[in-house]
A = this chain, B = another copy of it.
């Protein structure tokens, strides 16, 4: 059962299935009225630019707004030349594979890590090396050992991929000390870091961390983020902040993929940033997601049998659940969907070696509070019945 088979299975799920699969925002968070006003303005003020072809790197006005937003809100200094706009973060993951990975090259990731990143890169046949996490995120001591070994073997390490804040799928956040240590290791061994940062907008706890990119003096970090979680996923907008060389390589590769990202949606998001729609909206969204996380944690506490454990995510969109060792969550998914009418993503695909078979990822942002409670009740029954 591959990720696409799971997609198929989740797609066949009937309307009465409560889904904790996917990673969708709550649609009530979409700034619909702001967007309607902005679109009317864009089509009035500069329709010929918004509806025309655009440049591969993206609309200049948007890259300027992203630069401002990143500096004021994330502490990342970048000029428009350091930014390329992508069709969601997924395209940035594809570009990383296409530009950097030759067969046999090493890519180091947290283990587990984002399933769709692994999928995008497997086409390019890297050797994937996973580093375990603890409650402070990736264990950089272990990373350092692995890098030493790999270097001794003569391996070509292309980059270290991390989702340091509210990681997908674990929900864990890397401590500030670990971030500095990671950057130090990268400096020492002359490595690139890819920092994927879709979730740091939604930290529920007062954790003081900065993006690794904000600490990056020597352009070692390729930073990825997205409008999908803070504006609307329906626009398919992401961006990469990196040194100019990387942006130029990505630009070349992107020309073949799709020439350019939709100008229309880029101008809308640029105007959204300019009007401060994102920052205005965030506190409400963060509060909603925190309450949904708490509702799911409470339901897990209430319904789950002994032997089931889960993370308490510091932010983001997911809780990572570990079932008793005798349960294979791929098998469980079939009965969960068909008999118990509840869905989730089995954990297997998040591991570089598919080594763990009893984990699953649950999304808490999309389902309603009622669905969270009822869905976890059903899932607990499915686990008890397995």
Q: Are B236 and A260 in contact (CB under 8 A)?
A: yes
Contact residues in B for A91 (Cβ distance below 8 Å)? 257-258
Describe A's contact surface by its main secondary structure. Answer: helix
When A51-B35, A233-B51 are in contact, do A262 and B259 touch as well, CB less than 8 Å?
no
Q: Are A90 and B257 in contact (CB under 8 A)?
A: yes
Q: Are B255 and A4 in contact (CB under 8 A)?
A: yes
Q: Are A94 and B39 in contact (CB under 8 A)?
A: no
Q: Are B234 and A87 in contact (CB under 8 A)?
A: no
Contact residues in B for A50 (Cβ distance below 8 Å)? 234
Contact residues in B for A36 (Cβ distance below 8 Å)? 39-40, 43-44
Q: Is A381 part of the binding interface, using a Cβ–Cβ cutoff of 8 Å?
A: no
When A51-B30, A51-B32 are in contact, do A88 and B258 touch as well, CB less than 8 Å?
yes
Nearest CB of chain B from residue A358's CB, rounded to whole Å: 26
Contact residues in B for A232 (Cβ distance below 8 Å)? 51-52, 264
Q: Are B258 and A90 in contact (CB under 8 A)?
A: yes
Contact residues in B for A236 (Cβ distance below 8 Å)? 258-263
When A27-B51, A91-B258 are in contact, do A4 and B233 touch as well, CB less than 8 Å?
no
Q: Is A155 part of the binding interface, using a Cβ–Cβ cutoff of 8 Å?
A: no
Total copies of the chain: 2
Q: Is A335 part of the binding interface, using a Cβ–Cβ cutoff of 8 Å?
A: no
Nearest CB of chain B from residue A168's CB, rounded to whole Å: 14
Which of these binds chain B: A116-124, A135-143, A216-224, A280-288?
A116-124
Q: Is A252 part of the binding interface, using a Cβ–Cβ cutoff of 8 Å?
A: yes
Measured in the bound complex, the distance between the Cα atoms of B90 and A91 in whole Å is 14
Closest to A32 in B: B47
Please tell me which one of the listed residues B27, B51, B88 contacts residue A234 in the complex, with CB atoms under 8 A apart. B51
Contact residues in B for A32 (Cβ distance below 8 Å)? 43, 47, 51
Offer 10 A-B interface pairs, CB within 8 angstroms, sorted by A. Answer: A7-B56, A11-B55, A35-B51, A36-B43, A87-B261, A94-B256, A98-B123, A233-B263, A234-B262, A262-B265
Given contacts A39-B40, A116-B256, A233-B263, 12 further A-B contacts (CB under 8 A): A11-B55, A27-B48, A30-B48, A35-B43, A35-B51, A51-B234, A54-B234, A87-B258, A236-B262, A236-B263, A258-B258, A264-B265
